[in-house]
Amino acid sequence: MNKWVNRILHVSIAVIAYGYLTYKLVTFDDYSTITAHFSSIDATQFLYLIACFLLFPINILAESVKWRYLLRDLVPLTLREAMRQVYCGAAGAFITPARVGDYPTRVTLIADRKVWIPAITLGFVGTAALSSLQIILGLPAALNSYSIKWYMYLVSAMFVFGYAFSPAICRRLRNRHFSDNVRNIVDTLATLDTPRLLYIMLLSALRYAVYCVQMILILRFCGVDLSIGTMLTDILAYYMLVSVTPSMPVADVGIRGSWAIVVFSQHTANIPAIAMASILLWVINAMMPMIVGTMIRKTNR
């Protein structure tokens, strides 16, 4: 029953996302402006696109440093090894709902299988840090601009509480009786302390900053003319909405494009440019690492 409910939920989200995206693009009646923009594009706008691509390896580097740091007590990794695992994880994330295949794919490159479950657990701690930032920073922006309901405050509080206090809670649960796998997860979380959590949050903040700058650059390239302040507020709200929306691989582009239109169309009518920007950013940050990760896995076989 749960399997069917999840499947219906994911299919419904995909239909709604692509339906809304298609509707907004079909009903847009000023494509001549878009054509004029790209026919008269100059070197400065191409620099926006190039800069967006150049930030991609910084994003991967920050994630690799975080992954290596998370696993430092489990298995020693060089930065090169950590980066290879991050790329392979991107390939696994690309084909799984909510990108849950990321860390299980990464650990397949680790020879010692005993550390797989602790490594996956720590990986999701890193994801929780980034998600917490997206919600904590994006929620005020969404509440200020789009009147999101008050219960989103509760969601934000739950993320903060879960990230900050889960290690302490797990330390208190260490004496309880659990299955071997659950015991492994609890013991792994119990090893985390405040300095480690703060450093993980700092690296996650760097990735988040890269995402925001990339979005600003790609919007400029596509011809979305908004002030930096307005654009940044919209970007924070956009990433928050994407992070709390259940996703699946086939729906990812539709979800991102639809939320981008919902958020940015409050301040600009250039719907195709908004959709194009979200899709280009998805290609850079999701498809490119997936392609590299697939090539790495083939060389390891």
Please give the pLDDT value at position 47: 93
- From CA 28, how far away is CA 201, in angstroms rounded? 41
Please give the pLDDT value at position 213: 97
Please give the pLDDT value at position 86: 96
Please give the pLDDT value at position 153: 58
* pTM, to two decimals: 0.82
Q: Tally Cβ neighbours within 10 Å of residue 276.
A: 22
Q: Tally Cβ neighbours within 10 Å of residue 286.
A: 18
Alpha-carbon separation of residue 65 from 169, 199, 203, 279, 286 (angstroms): 27, 11, 8, 27, 19
Q: Tally Cβ neighbours within 10 Å of residue 46.
A: 11
Please give the pLDDT value at position 53: 94
Find the helix or strand (DSSP H, E) in which 193 lies: none
3-state helix, strand, coil in the chain (%, to 5): 80, 0, 20
pLDDT of the chain, 301 residues: tens digit per residue? 566 666 676 667 677 777 877 877 777 666 666 666 667 777 888 899 999 999 999 999 999 999 999 999 899 999 999 999 999 999 888 888 778 889 999 999 999 988 998 899 889 888 888 888 888 888 777 776 554 555 555 665 666 666 666 666 666 666 666 666 666 676 777 777 778 888 998 999 999 999 999 999 999 998 888 999 899 999 999 998 898 887 777 788 888 999 999 999 889 888 888 999 998 999 999 989 999 988 886 666 5
Q: In this predicted model, what pLDDT tens digit does every residue of 87-116 receive, in sequence order?
A: 999 988 888 877 888 999 999 999 998 899
Please give the pLDDT value at position 18: 75
Please name the residue that has the structure tokens 């219960």: 151
